[in-house]
Amino acid sequence: MNTGMSSRLDALRERLGGIAFGGDYNPEQWDRAVWDEDVALMREAGVNLVTVGVFAWASLEPSPGRFTFEWLDEVMDLLHANGISVDLATPTAAPPVWLSHGHPEVLPVMEDGEVFGFGNRMHYDPTSPRYREHAARITTALAERYSHHPALAMWHIGNEYGPVAYTPSAAAAFRAWLRRRYGDLDALNAAWYTTFWSQRYTAWEQVNPPEEPRSWSNPARRLDFHRFASDALLECFVMERDIVRAHRDDLPVVTNFMRFHRGADLWRWAPHVDAAALDIYPDPGQPDAHVAAALNFDLMRSLRGEPWLLMEQAAGAVSQWRVNHAKRPGLMRLGSYQAVAHGADSVLFFQWRAGRGGHERFHSAMLPHSGTRARTWREVAALGAELPRIAAVAGTGPRAEVAVLFDWNAWWGLEVTHGLPRNDFDYPATVTAHYRPLLEAHHAVDLVSFGSELGRYRVVVVPNAYLVDDRCAAALEDFAAAGGTVLCSFFSGVVDEANQVRQPAYPGAFGRLIGAWIDEYLPAGSSFGVRFAGGRTVRADWWQERIHPTTASVVASYVDGDLAGWPAVIADGRVTYIGTRLEPEALRDVILGAVAAAGVQPVVAGAPSHVEATRRGRFLFLLNHSPAEAVTVPADGTDLLTGRILEGAVTLEPLGVAVIEVP
């Protein structure tokens, strides 16, 4: 955990005196009379921070350059008068119709050539100079007017940066980005391997975004376009951030990241924000949605090595899926504590009051359509009353000895190019499959990137890292050479940053690391048995490799199928390589065995796998994800939520939580 935390986020924490609680507030949707009820109920619920203005551009600048800040002045004053701090948003994620109607070139063109028009939101091309000019103007006007308003506690730039455009503007920006990356066309042609299929470029203006969603376009070109698209969005963020910083530079400036969002390489974004901030909507219809949630929470913490902000979650149902399940009683509270348990210093919702119209009219809110008589309201208010009991948690962090590699370049390599032995890889799912046993065995886990410092860890897990850069390869070799434990799963190290097969093949980057060479990658159509040295036989499927150990020894071998007798899992010192997709229990045993051998201790011992356990400093979080069964876990200290002194154990109700200050 980073000990030198962001001073700007420190200031916010001090201002709020503990965990931030609140949500998006859209007063522009309601009559003035409703505002008074809003703030009264916010106080009743313990709200101390609201995000204002995310979608208010049309209300703030109804025609180009004409600003109507009066209503926002009143909102800011009213909130301040009631002791509620404001996370003020630049409204640039949803340009008003006069901008896109007057300047259609600000609209993105999608991969299939269709214009993404006005009528939804996110209808902007991030590379459009016209869009950026107008975004800068409204941001400047907001900064000028509100930088020193006493309610202002934080800036929220844009919203869920996501648009990708295939416009002439994007093509020009892509070319400029490529020139910076490669310098000249020869380097581009070499990286993109353009001798294949006669694709050599002879002039920069021939280079375009890969518009053809249905065809097999150059895989390096697709990869670079994804890198570029992430950077183009980051430029938009930085532009607005710099504007508000120019007016006042002691406030945190953030934007809300999205769960498993392939479009933004957050390792590149992290240095540019004052805190990682996450929007997350685990599907209540999925019984184990909390596992991927935990991974995303750990990722947020790992991005900057410090506490982060839960910026949006739902009080109940969302409105984005075909079937939108609600959260059963207790689940919203459990999910909120889960975020805090993994390092969040806030519990914020989208949104405060349920809207009457628009696409999200059935997206849940802290204050539902049914008002204060609603079950959800009661749970929200109870949580708001309870959170101050754990105020001391804010600012603390865990210490993880296990790291899991999660890098956008690895993701893009597996998913955005074609022509792999299998083309149904799901990178978030495979990382989650490797992360899950660690979570369920109550280990603290950090996520790491290609460029992360590994020296602080004892174990590094490398799931299906088909594409790795040279830094990553070197770092892992160094880590292993220094006695670190590495668990690497199949089809890793194969290509370089340009998606070119490394030589000598295979596994390219990891040949020395794993102590073997691989003749063939073999997708499997059915399952097969794998026998471990100790005699136990498990099942595996989906993938095999013809592995030739050089310095490694065989840990497990195939007992049937085309590769009967060949190695399935090998180990070279503390480096284990898993050449197939083991059934979950077997993967768990391999991972936990290596973790135990590395001397890593879990946060708690003796808790079942559906109980989550994390530490933040001296605070132990226990969360029971079973909706049906209570569970008793060994623990000592004071349960902050009940105030009880524990005598060796704590009982968690179904969906129950304990936050224990350990002696």
Site membership for a second copy, residue 373 (CB under 8 A): yes
> Which of 46, 108, 252, 316: binder of a second copy (CB under 8 A)?
316
* Residue 503 binds a second copy (CB under 8 A): yes
Q: Would you call 70 a catalytic residue per the annotation?
A: no
Choosing from 23, 26, 253, 476, the residue that interacts with a second copy (CB under 8 A) is 26
Which residue in the block uniquely carries the two structure tokens 């269709």? 114
Total site size for a second copy, rule CB under 8 A: 109
Q: Is the dihedral of CA 217, 220, 221, 226 positive or negative?
A: positive
Least distance in angstroms from the C-beta of 496 to a second copy: 9
Q: Does 432 bind a second copy (CB under 8 A)?
A: no
Nearer to a second copy, 302 or 417 (CB): 417
Q: Give the DSSP letter of residue 451.
A: T
User: Binders of a second copy among 271-310, rule CB under 8 A?
Assistant: 285
Q: Tell me the closest approach of the beta carbon of residue 560 to a second copy, in angstroms.
A: 12
Residue 324 CB, nearest approach to a second copy (Å): 5
Distance CA 212, CA 485 (A): 42
Q: Is 609 in the site for a second copy (CB under 8 A)?
A: no
Q: How far is CA 347 from the centre of its chain?
A: 16
Among residue numbers 184 through 213, which ones bind a second copy (CB under 8 A)? 192-203, 205-206, 208, 210-212
Q: Which stretch binds a second copy (CB under 8 A): 386-394, 512-520, 616-624, 632-640?
A: 512-520
8 Å CB contact between 432 and 445: no
What residues pair up with 523 in beta bridges, in sequence order?
Answer: 543
Q: Which single residue is written with the structure tokens 């410092």?
A: 453
Task: Name which position in 45, 153, 276, 317 contacts a second copy (CB under 8 A).
Answer: 317
Residue 359 in contact with a second copy, rule: CB under 8 A: yes
The answer to whether residue 370 forms part of the interface with a second copy (CB under 8 A) is: yes
121 binds a second copy (CB under 8 A): yes
The Cβ-side half-sphere exposure at 315, using a 13 Å CA radius, reads: 29
Locus of tokens 């001073």: 7
Q: Is 78 in the site for a second copy (CB under 8 A)?
A: no
The single residue listed with the structure tokens 């809110």 is 365
Instruction: For residue 112, state whether it binds a second copy (rule: CB under 8 A).
Output: yes
Torsion angle, alpha carbons of 187, 190, 192, 196, to 10: 150
360 in catalytic set: no
DSSP H stretches of helix in 147-184: 168-182
Q: What angle do CA 163, 168, 171 make, to 5 degrees?
A: 75
DSSP β-bridge partners for residue 349 = 23
Q: Which of 116, 161, 337, 352 binds a second copy (CB under 8 A)?
A: 116
Which residues 212-271 are close enough to bind a second copy by CB under 8 A?
Answer: 212, 215-221
Q: Which of 61, 240, 306, 312 is catalytic?
A: 312
Tokens of 294: 């935990």
- Which of 32, 148, 325, 618 lies at the binding interface for a second copy (CB under 8 A)? 325
> Which of 117, 150, 584, 599 touches a second copy by CB under 8 A?
117
For 583-601, what is the HEC assignment? CHHHHHHHHHHHHHHCCCC
Q: Does 429 bind a second copy (CB under 8 A)?
A: no
Instruction: Give which of 379, 192, 404 is closest to 298, Cα–Cα.
Output: 404
DSSP 8-state symbol, 326: P
**Residues tagged active-site:** 160, 312
